[in-house]
């Protein structure tokens, strides 16, 4: 059975339509197809978004795939460039055997970097350093790259980096704020990889998992100029009152380390950064499928941020305020945050869905789906959850209080008991989160 068919969707008369809409969104940002759309081989020419690279004039080709979509993004290029004998490094979240000659696989840790992330960072620097002007480095970047690959500045330890990451995740900092801090403490981030590879030519094909798609924030921008400063990174820590609790070495690095490469730096004249997939694309594929299924499609934007439970209230109100004579499908994209108050199990999409239970209680002919596009919501095996106007009533029948579960951040246990967790497994892509709101 399709893994999207939870209890509520199995029993709903339009459940099959809803599942097809969810599936369309993910298929639209399948990483391999996204890469092939922008990068093609024509004889001895490698064409990337209209820009030609003459393979006859290139000495060495190196390929670096980083992120949850590393394997899928790399696959078409490993095949089309096989006669150039590329060497490659893949840094995914899940381990797998190297699928092509000349490639190695070094999985990293996520969402907090670990010793594997440190090894991956060292290998990435080794791959890039020593390249010459007639060499080509192709980077394939996707969500999760910030944690999967790390190379802390001298004097900053992995433990320091882990403490920073955990503290920022726990206090509800936005991903752009987290990555602002990471960029100024890592040799690879904030244009660091491009600097290490200079003077080689660099192509970076990027699958965005960040709201509004700023290149410096996706995987912390290893090949992109960094518009932020060390002062900006310190301001993030001060905003969340973290300066007193973080290691002194980390704070010292943020006050004394060299700045990251900025827009206008000459090294970026040798770099082509290209966005190949985004939340916007996935959302609009879902809306097109919704229209084909007989729904009136409405796009609510792809820049939703903030506390998951507050975003849930705003989106539910939007659904309640929508007046139409036909079935309606509203789609919103973005990335919410969760400030941890309890020790429960879940993720930001599950928490958003849980906060919607009381908001939608008793309403007829409505349905909400919160979905992590990578198939993994937080440290769980679920991608999100499904809510209807009957969810609260079903919960009460099992003596489950939505408010109590929300208080301890335990959305997973709540929806698991109702068989309304979405468990499609890792999707191989990552373009942030999607929330679908249906009125029938």
Q: pLDDT, tens digit, for every residue of 364-398?
A: 999 999 999 999 999 999 999 999 999 999 999 99
* Residue 246 placed within a domain: no
Cα separation, 351 vs 394, whole angstroms: 18
- Cβ neighbours around 2 below 10 Å, total: 13
| Residue-level pLDDT at 430 | 86
Q: Residue 431 is part of a domain; what is its CATH number?
A: 3.40.1480.10
pLDDT digits (tens, 9 = 90+) for 193-218: 999 999 999 999 999 988 889 999 99
Both tokens of 216, joined, read 């410096």
Q: Largest Cα–Cα distance in the chain?
A: 70
Low-confidence stretches of the chain (pLDDT < 50) are none
Q: What are phi and psi of 390, to 5 degrees?
A: -95, -5
Number of domains in the chain: 2
265 and 348 both lie in a single domain? no
SS3 146: helix
| Residue-level pLDDT at 428 | 84
36 and 14 both lie in a single domain? no
Q: Are 151 and 115 in contact (CB under 8 A)?
A: no
Judging by beta carbons within 10 Å of its beta carbon (0-12, 13-18, 19+), is residue 132 exposed, middle or buried? exposed
For residue 56, what is the DSSP state?
G
pTM over 0.75: yes
Cα separation, 111 vs 166, whole angstroms: 9
23 and 77 both lie in a single domain? no
Residues 94-98: contacts with CB under 8 Å, at least 24 apart: 94/426, 96/71
Note if the bond before 236 is cis, omega within 30 degrees: no
* Residue 192 placed within a domain: yes
Cα separation, 116 vs 413, whole angstroms: 30
Q: Which of 124, 151, 125, 136 is nearest to 66 (CA)?
A: 124
**Cα angle: 381, vertex 300, 438; to 5 degrees:** 65
| Residue-level pLDDT at 174 | 87
| Residue-level pLDDT at 1 | 63
107 and 65 both lie in a single domain? yes
13 and 47 both lie in a single domain? no
198 and 70 both lie in a single domain? yes
Q: Residue 200 is part of a domain; what is its CATH number?
A: 3.40.50.10180
Cα separation, 425 vs 264, whole angstroms: 41
Cα separation, 7 vs 12, whole angstroms: 9
410 and 320 both lie in a single domain? yes
Q: Are 355 and 417 in contact (CB under 8 A)?
A: no
Q: Which structural domain, as residue segments, surrounds residue 421?
A: 7-28+280-439
What DSSP line would sit under 69-87, residue for residue?
THHHHHHHHHHHTGGG--E
| Residue-level pLDDT at 323 | 83
* Residue 232 placed within a domain: no
């Amino acid at each position: 059975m399709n893994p999207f068919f939870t209890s509520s969707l199995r029993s709903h008369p339009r459940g099959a339509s809803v599942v097809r809409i969810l599936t369309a969104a993910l298929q639209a940002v399948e990483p391999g197809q996204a890469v092939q759309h922008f990068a093609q081989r024509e004889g001895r020419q490698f064409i990337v978004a209209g820009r030609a690279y003459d393979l006859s004039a290139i000495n060495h080709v190196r390929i670096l795939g980083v992120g949850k979509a590393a394997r899928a993004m790399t696959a078409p290029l490993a095949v089309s460039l096989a006669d150039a004998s590329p060497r490659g490094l893949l840094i995914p979240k899940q381990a797998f055997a190297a699928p092509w000659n000349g490639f190695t696989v070094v999985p990293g840790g996520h969402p907090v970097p670990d010793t594997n992330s440190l090894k991956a960072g060292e290998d990435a620097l080794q791959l890039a350093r020593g390249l010459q002007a007639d060499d080509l480095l192709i980077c394939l970047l996707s969500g999760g790259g910030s944690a999967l690959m790390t190379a802390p500045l001298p004097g900053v330890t992995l433990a320091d980096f882990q403490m920073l990451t955990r503290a920022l995740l726990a206090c509800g900092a936005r991903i752009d704020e987290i990555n602002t801090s990471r960029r100024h403490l890592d040799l690879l981030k904030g244009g660091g990889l491009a600097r290490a590879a200079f003077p080689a030519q660099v192509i970076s094909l990027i699958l965005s998992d960040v709201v509004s798609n700023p290149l410096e924030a996706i995987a912390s921008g290893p090949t992109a100029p960094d518009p932020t400063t060390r002062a900006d990174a310190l301001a993030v820590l001060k905003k969340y009152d973290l300066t007193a609790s973080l290691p002194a070495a980390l704070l010292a690095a943020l006050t004394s380390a060299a700045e990251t490469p900025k827009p206008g730096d000459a090294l970026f004249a040798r770099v082509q950064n290209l966005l190949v997939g985004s939340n916007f694309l996935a959302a609009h594929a879902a809306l097109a499928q919704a229209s084909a299924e007989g729904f009136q499609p409405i796009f609510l934007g792809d820049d939703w941020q903030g506390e998951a439970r507050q975003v849930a209230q705003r989106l539910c109100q939007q659904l309640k305020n929508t007046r139409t004579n036909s079935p309606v499908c509203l789609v919103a994209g973005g990335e919410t945050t969760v400030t941890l108050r309890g020790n429960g199990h879940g993720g930001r999409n599950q928490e958003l869905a849980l906060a919607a239970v009381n908001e939608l209680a008793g309403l007829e002919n409505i349905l909400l789906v919160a979905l992590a596009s990578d198939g993994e919501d937080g440290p769980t095996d679920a991608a999100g959850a499904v809510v209807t106007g009957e969810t609260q009533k079903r919960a009460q029948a099992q003596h489950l209080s939505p408010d109590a579960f929300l208080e301890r951040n335990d959305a997973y246990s709540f929806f698991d008991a109702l068989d309304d967790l979405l468990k499609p497994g890792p999707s191989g892509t990552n373009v942030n989160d999607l929330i679908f709101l249906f009125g029938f």
